[in-house]
Amino acid sequence: MGNLEYKVLVGLEIHVQLCTQTKMFCGCALSFAEEPNSRVCPVCLGMPGSLPVMNKQAVEFAILAGMALNCQIAQFTKWDRKSYYYPDLPKNYQISQYDLPLAINGYIEIPTDNGIKKIRIIRAHLEEDAGKNLHTAGNFSLVDLNRAGTPLLEIVTEPDMNSAIEVRALAEELQRIVRYLGVSEADMQKGHMRFEPNVNLVITRAGQEFKTPIVEVKNLNSFKALENSINYEIGRQLDRFNETGEVMEMGNKSTRGWDDAKEVTVLQREKEEAHDYRYFPDPDLVPVETNEDWLIPIQERLCELPLKKRLRYVKEYGLSDYDAGVLTSERATADFFENAVKSGGEPKRVCNLLTQYFQKRANERGCNLTELGVKPQQVAALAKMLEKEEISATAAAAISDAVVLSEDLDPGKYAQEHNLLQKSDAGELEAIVEEVIKANPQAVEDFKAGGKKSGKAKGFLLGQVMQKTKGRANPKVAAEILDRKLA
Amino acid sequence: MNQLSAKELRDKIKAGEIKSVEATKAVFERIAKVEPTVGAYISIFEEQALAKAAQVDKRIAGGEKVGELAGLPVAVKDNMCTTFGTTTCASKILANFHAPYNATVVEKLLSSDAIIAGKTNLDEFAMGSSTENSGLKRTVNPWDIERVPGGSSGGSAAGLAAGLCFAALGSDTGGSIRLPASFCGVVGLKPTYGRVSRYGLVAYGSSLDQIGPVTQTVEDCALMMNVIAGYDPADSTSVDEKTAPLCDYLAKLDEPVKGLKIGIAPKFNAGADEQVRKAIDEAINTYRNLGAAIIEIDMPHFDYAIAAYYMVATAEASSNLSRYDGVHYGHRTRNPNDYIEVYTKSRAEGFGKEVKRRIMLGTYALSSGYYDAYYLKALKVRNLIRGDFVSVFEKCDCIMMPVSPTTAFKMGEKLDDPLKMYLSDIYTIAVNLAGIPGISIPCGFDDKNLPIGLQILAPAFGEENLLRIARMYEKQTDWHRKRPNLNG
């Protein structure tokens, strides 16, 4: 059998943990790695008689995310109970949203090699997370309910992604978006973002289309795993189709888990069980009505999204796509950059200072660029001095180091006090050039002779000028003088 | 002292004429004497009660300010969470359950300086009309110990009628306060849905459940409402006081409602036993003699109330009771083979017959493919019933009808026929579906000396008027002063 023509279809079900102060329906703080069952109360433990109370901040975060994902925000939404028995689910029902989700019909734009692609979003709704079952040694399991009741935004996309790379691009874009909005820490390792791709292929053979059975992949806790698992599934589904010719039909969707060590997916559930979740409106909660008075202030919190920003940086500031990507990867960095530009720094120079000097310092300290204690105005001042050729690149590096150590430092004053300003004064430089010419007749001769030796000789002579000025001569001005004198 | 109403006792305690300790001791003496016969309480807190009584007495003697229910021995239905003792819901599955928090109403009782004497028996998870479904205890009717006290708040009503407390709290999902109040000859109010916080009330049918007072007099009922009513941020379905302002229910209690218009539906009343019907007619006559106008009303959808109720209540119950799984708290089966058996066996062993029946009914009603035909349809009927009440209340201030078609029936009489049992609630259930308030007040006795209750219904949040209307009758009669003749 020759190579088959095929198209990959991937849709995502995404759970984003919102970084609210408290849980979805009670006053407990969100938990990270505390002692098991220490962040719990009667409500998230599902104690008899306890009642949920909606966390308004979670709803606002979800609305904000829904707006950023270009969704319609429901004017009327409600809470439903989704019933299933599992030990990590204290009430044996999860409070979720069934037929009237908070947000519908949106899209997310992702960068691809062929430009921007829109991936449609079917819905985004809020729900509470379950706890965790801990299977330690022994003939029993333990249940930790610290996570129970944590607010989750569930986002469901159409199967609009056609490669593993596109899936990864969406995941990374979504991570940037929710971080920009400040609604999630979106750390995949910590489970703040959980992706469950639904993968299948449309294979064309002898002019006929065949759809392979859909596979839902679970247990993905890095972007790499997400990408690799899809590539693995593509190969596996092709092989399987070649072997069995099995195609998609009712009830043959299966669930496979990603084994990170072996880099394979492993069958978890053969057939999609006919789950009856017995959804019905939660009588303990009142429906949510969103009106303009509530939505407009949320809308105002919406910011320019990372991809838009990145494209704008390329177009408006002439930055490279790579640099624009680095600067827009986090909102704080982008804000810092824009503030420095607003303070008069030339964008490209500000970009270079940030990506070259300050990013390195931040990396050394294991912190964010914006946590270095540097002010955008200081970076702008440095950029201005560079632009006016008042300082050399070496001097800029030295001043940057000083700026990192002191928030109040004025880069201009510092350069002056530490003799870091370049000598651009032609008169002063001319005397030095004159001295150098006199002291190096051989080099002057080589220079005048032209040819290969000439360039080398010029470099040598300029080096001598720099040495005499302790590196503070403006190399451009010095070269001009030299050229003129030896012409 | 046992002849005093709660309000009278409270006033005397506050005035220093009677010590709370004396009153509390008297209650426990009475409990020692007749509780073995009545079986009203699942748990009693004698030591704790006497200590609190002594503390209240001391504060009164010291001239300190004390709460509305200062020193008053009261009882709480055992489906309201308390940090002390157990909260069993009369179910084996929660027989040893210790709640980690107090229900809002319990907090309110405690901060009003009430003395909680004990927690009363009920039909398991409040599912029943006779208290015979209790998985832990048998409660009898103090007027005839061969008969049921009504349910599900049977322990609260029987205990109060037997003098084992001065006032009590019950909960009412389909008549569970009003029916036992009627069978035991006491006053029982189901407030408007949302008027009293449900936080800490173990849920049966969440959209129907409401806590309310079981008291000796209408005045006591107003006193209790002053304590328990109000918005609670912990209960999203409790109504804020801007939407429905609270009032002092005692303030105007003795002012008769002027130009009172009473709605009656002879069609319904016709379904009641003759002696019940006669008592209701006479009660309405009393109002007529006070100048009230009697208007005939029609409620076209009333007949569907029981059917709709048993869909809505059981659907919610099937979900509410899914948390009793043997995993987190409550009864767990011994030696399960796997976690599925933890669920199935713990539940099979822990729940009684009626609870299982309702869980199955509700699960079925919510199942995919049946949801629209059952649950959704029931919700539509519910809206129609609500609409019936709204249009009726445009014409009258209140509606009067029996609480139940019969007086207290014999133990076991309806136990094997659930449908017959369900029909005991035919007059009370629509009120819960509509969310409006309803009160049961004593209005006579049948020839077996069994109490009969008059039910009065008012528009949503019309408790103030409702209590005033009930009080008008109470002042004309002394049914509420009758006590059963119980000798331990």
B81 to chain A: closest CA residue: A49
Per-residue pLDDT in tens (0 to 9) along chain B, 488 residues: 778 999 999 999 999 999 999 999 999 999 999 999 999 999 999 999 999 999 999 999 999 999 999 999 999 999 999 999 999 999 999 999 999 999 999 999 999 999 999 999 999 999 999 999 999 999 999 999 999 999 999 999 999 999 999 999 999 999 999 999 999 999 999 999 999 999 999 999 999 999 999 999 999 999 999 999 999 999 999 999 899 999 999 999 999 999 999 999 988 888 899 999 999 999 999 999 999 999 999 999 999 999 999 999 999 999 999 999 999 999 999 999 998 999 999 999 999 999 999 999 999 999 988 999 999 999 999 999 999 999 999 999 999 999 999 999 999 999 888 888 888 899 999 999 999 999 999 999 999 999 999 999 999 999 999 999 999 999 999 999 999 998 65
Which residues from B are below 8 Å from A45, CB to CB?
328
Name which of A51, A83, A276 is nearest B322 (Cβ-Cβ): A83
Phi, psi of A10 (to 5 degrees): -130, 130
Task: Find the Cα–Cα–Cα–Cα dihedral A313, A314, A318, A324, rounded to 10°.
Answer: 70
Query: What whole-number distance in Å separates Cα of residue B453 and Cα of residue B446?
Result: 11
- Asked if the Cβ–Cβ distance from B234 to A45 is below 8 Å, we say no
Query: What whole-number distance in Å separates Cα of residue A161 and Cα of residue A171?
Result: 11
Strands A193-205 and A151-157, by their bridges, are: unpaired
Query: What whole-number distance in Å separates Cα of residue B349 and Cα of residue A51?
Result: 26
Local structure of residue B173 (DSSP, 8 states): S
Q: Which CATH architecture has domain B6-263+393-481?
A: Alpha-Beta Complex (3.90)
Question: Which residue is it, tokens 């430092």?
Answer: A409
Apex B458 CA angle, B454 and B461, nearest 5: 135
Q: Report which residue type is found at A198.
A: N
> Structural domains in chain A?
5-292 (no CATH), 304-417 (no CATH), 426-486 (1.10.10.410)
Residue from A92, A132, A285 whose CB has the most chain B CBs within 10 Å, to mutate:
A92
Q: What is the ipTM of this complex?
A: 0.96
- Asked if the Cβ–Cβ distance from A49 to B368 is below 8 Å, we say no
Q: What is the 3-state secondary structure (H, E, C) of B392-410?
A: HCCCCCEEEEECCCCCCCE
Active-site residues of B: which are they? Answer: 77, 152, 176
Q: Per-residue pLDDT tens for A146-193? A: 999 999 999 999 999 999 999 999 999 999 999 999 999 999 999 999
Which residues from A are below 8 Å from B318, CB to CB?
278
Question: Which residue is it, tokens 């919406």?
Answer: A302
- Asked if the Cβ–Cβ distance from B99 to A49 is below 8 Å, we say yes
Domain ranges of chain B: 6-263+393-481
Which residues from B are below 8 Å from A81, CB to CB?
319
Cα four-point dihedral sign A119, A122, A127, A133: negative
- d(CA A136, nearest CA chain B) in Å: 15
Question: Do the Cβ atoms of B115 and B52 come closer than 8 Å?
Answer: yes
Apex A136 CA angle, A131 and A139, nearest 5: 110
